[in-house]
Structure 1
Amino acid sequence: MRDEPAALTRHLRVHEHRGYTVLEFRGEIDIAAAAEIGSSLDRVTQRAGARIVIDLRPVEFFDCSGLRLLHRARTRVLERGGRLHLVCTHPLTLRVFRLTGLTRLLPPYPTPDAALAGAGAPSGSL
């Protein structure tokens, strides 16, 4: 059963799903939103062995500030022996991920359940 997402900021909701912390980014993820999300994301990714899913399905716009958030989160989680999975279905955002090579580091899944089904696959390497 899934807990109702708690709003940490207007751009971030957090809930637990099947033993993972799901960070649901919302709206337009630009430099202002990244500044708003950053401290909450750092708090979650500092835990040793953190198991995290970042869900971008509610995102309408995603710029390089969002890419920096994802890369930082991935690095922090892997350095601490955790797992990080990405959920994204927006065609333009997926295109940016492919062009920047992020899909090699964080393969996107269409749903949190699909991400967890692929949880045995590595989150990429450092």
Structure 2
Amino acid sequence: MQQEPAPLGRHLRIHRHRDHTVVELLGEIDIAAAVEIGPFLDRVTTEPGGRLVIDLRGVEFFDCSGLRLLYRARLRVYESGGRLHLVCTHPLTLRMLRITGLSRLLPPHPTPQAALDPSGTTSGTS
């Protein structure tokens, strides 16, 4: 059963999808937004065995601060034995992920359903 997203600030919403916590990032993800988002991501990425989806479909702008958030979240989830999936469809953000190599660590999916498909790639466990 999917819950209605709960806003946690201007740049962040959270809800459950299947047995995963879905963190939706919204708007412009720059250094100011990263300051707002970082502490929340730190909390949800340290849960032992946590299952997390970061959804970037609502993002209009994404800079190196956003890349740093993703990399840190992936590292923290991996260290706690969890799983992290990324949802992203914006062409410029996808390009940044490819150029930096982050797409190899966090393969982007077009939807949360596609990210959680059992035949898909799981990041944070390899």
TM bucket (normalised to shorter chain) is over 0.9
Q: What is the aligned length?
A: 126
For residues 125 and 45 of structure 1, the distance between their equivalents in structure 2, rounded to whole angstroms, comes to 14
For residues 66 and 32 of structure 2, the distance between their equivalents in structure 1, rounded to whole angstroms, comes to 10
**Deviation of 1:122 (Å):** 3.4
Partner of 2:50: 50
Unaligned runs of 5+ in 1: none
CA RMSD in angstroms, aligned pairs only: 1.4
Mapping for residues 27-42 of structure 1, pairs under 5 Å: 27-42=27-42
Partner of 2:8: 8
Mapping for residues 1-126 of structure 1, pairs under 5 Å: 1-118=1-118, 121-123=121-123
TM, length-normalised to structure 2: 0.95
> What is the SS of the residue equivalent to 1:10?
coil
CA contact (8 A) 2:114 2:120 kept: no
Deviation per CA, 1:97-120: give whole Å up to 9, x if none: 000001100000000000000576
Deviation per CA, 1:36-89: give whole Å up to 9, x if none: 001111110111000000000000000000000000000000000000000000
CA contact (8 A) 2:88 2:108 kept: yes
**Deviation of 1:121 (Å):** 2.8
Residues 8, 100 of structure 1: alpha-carbon distance in 2 compared, 3 angstrom cutoff: same
Percent identity between matched residues is 71
> What is the SS of the residue equivalent to 2:23?
strand
For residues 7 and 124 of structure 1, the distance between their equivalents in structure 2, rounded to whole angstroms, comes to 26
**Deviation of 1:2 (Å):** 1.2
Unaligned runs of 5+ in 2: none
CA contact (8 A) 1:105 1:125 kept: no
CA contact (8 A) 2:49 2:83 kept: yes
